[in-house]
Chains A and B, each alone.
Chain A
Amino acid sequence: MRDLLRLLALGRPYARWAAAGIALNVVVVLANVGLLALSGWFIASMALAGIGAIQIEYFAPAAAIRGLAVLRTVGRYVERVVTHEATFRLLTELRVWFYEHLEPLAPARLQHHRGGDLLSRIRSDIDSLDTLYLRVLAPTCAAIISVILLLGFLALYSVPVTWVEASGLFAAGIALPLAAVRLGRDPGRRAVSIRAELRVIVSETVQGLGELLITQAAVRQAEAIARLGTSLVGQQRRQAWISSISSALSGLAAQLALWGALVITIPLVRAGSLTGPDLAMIILFVLASFEAVAPLPAAFLALGETLAAARRIFDLIDAPPAVIEPRCGAPRPQIFNLRIRGLRMRYADDAPWALDGLDLDVPQGEALGIVGASGSGKTSIFNVLLRFWEYDGDIKIGGVALRELDGDTARSLFGVVSQQTHLFNVSVRENLKLARPDATDAELMDALRAAYLEEDIAGLPNGLDTLAGENGARFSGGQARRLSIARALLKNAPMLLLDEPTEGLDAASESATLDALAKLMKGRTTLLITHRPAALRIVNRVVALRGGRVYVGEAEAAA
């Protein structure tokens, strides 16, 4: 229930669209019931008038019948356009809201969620949330309003028939759908999670097909996919049975209401308390009135899946961010020396310390090389400096405590070249402009030249407009690295964090890249993580890490 309210609150900006859709829905339902009931009354009256039993003025009802027909038709069209417009607006709102809430969690809180899983969340879950308005909220509200009006009208003629009608509507619109929801909750929940799992396994199979083939695991993977596919169909089959039974029973409830109305009203006509045309009208009224509750079974069924999706989304984004940013960040430092004292951090409360009492000093404009075995905490220093993870201890840049800076200000201080830099599947130009949105092509080419990429890019069929491919697939590892160097050049930040900048390069391009980096590092305070001796020639000093702290002291290295 709380999830539902939270979802509804998200849609508040579009409440008017939503209300208009519901009002139109009511108009359409009432027009249809009115059309059929009036038709029944009309032909019975005309038949009785024909045999001279009663007198009738027939122009007004005949015109009303035609008018209701047009109202229903046009009303339906406008209603559909309005409800869909409302739905899509809501969908955009949801996507943006989800991204905005996800953004502060990256990367610390997302490492346990796999990319495919996230995609599935954003797509399936948010897409299934669109059913909230179109298939749940709008039909439910419209049904409630229509039913109240319909029952009120019927009560003018016969209270017992109203009770029969009310119980029929209750069974078809509420009792049966609720039973269906209860039964459908379990398969619905499972279908959502199987679907997510299936999507992940398909996407990792596409990505790692080569390894699966070589290790002979392809067949097993294929079987796993087939198995998941079959069990998804199994859940869907249960849902299909539940929905077809509940919809058939809802139909039966409508027919029983009709039957009951007949049985009650026949003696009333005999007794003279109800006219013949009224009976004909009531029969068609009851028959048509069930259209008002017809969408409810589907609505209740969709509600289960929607709430499951909502739960998963709320679970994900409700995680507290790893870093609490200051309410009002300190001003950006003006000098850029780095001073670290007693730095400790770990990735989870039960994880070992990744950094454990680290002390470092880097004077402004100097370059410090950091070496150490993998797992010794080198990359963790960067995660802390970039404010991706929280830390204990003391870090000061130009005398300002890092903790007092807001994350964006802290990150604006650093140019970064790392293993994890992502190339977006947009053009090379857009990938570079990320670092400096107003850069001219000439500036981009300068940066590419400095990163020894000018020829590579010029050689591409579309030059700067070439798409980078998924995860930068268009480029080799070395090219991707040099692209991220070009980005760092463009960003022109006062400090640099370089994580294995020359990894994956052949020796010739390594030395060229190092030359480019040496130029870039001039005047910039730099931390360089590397295990390549060649790279250490461009730093002033080198420290080695072990177990999250400096362990051989500071060994002077020849620049």
Chain B
Amino acid sequence: MAARTEHDERAGTSTSQVDAPPVRPRGRHPVATAVSVFGELLITAGLVLALFVAYSLWWTNVLADREADKQGDTVRSRWADGPGALDTKDGIGFLHVPAMKNGEVLVKKGTDPETLNNGIAGYYTDPVESGLPWDDEGNFTLAAHRDGHGAKFHNIHKLKNGDPVVFETKDTWYVYKVYKKLPETSKFNVDVIQPVPEESGVKEPGRYITLTTCTPVYTSKYRYIVWGELERTEKVDKDRTKPVELR
């Protein structure tokens, strides 16, 4: 077939230019070929990196939001029979932070990547075990992604002192108020999630909440910490009426 095409071209009757150039026109120098291949490899590497950015910042969000919706629906349907007693199966509850404008975030046990990559927040089991909202005292310590995988804590920098952070369980609304932020700390600084987080200025045991994520955005060089203290609780009523902070 190639031979026929060549023949056609020689005869000047071909309309197809596809096979026109011979494989090595005028005997291209091997160095020119090497440079050309190297250049194409560089272009390819650039395209792959661009695709990786799209994957990290867009596609993982698509997957995580889908999964988080599914897992959230599971919990909501478990709770569908009304307030009732505390039920922590499939997730202990939902975090609502109006200042972050991210809707509700399902909270589950553990902060390993497999958990957090589902577009949810996790409470610490390691290196310092988190307190839970219904404990008499303790620090409810949470982590979630800043970018990608749902990016549930993306807007953590929008939180100001006094902003409400509401945690919803099957039977109770826990209303926390932010009282301290730490915009940058080392990832080795586990003191921020101690039961009494003295770095936030408190000395007495109490009912605290700590949000942790990475900073600056798009990297994981440091950690961003926000502390809140429980202000009040509200029993969930039949209609799951939201506390005033969420209306």
State whether these chains interact: no
Interface positions of A (Cβ within 8 A of B)? none
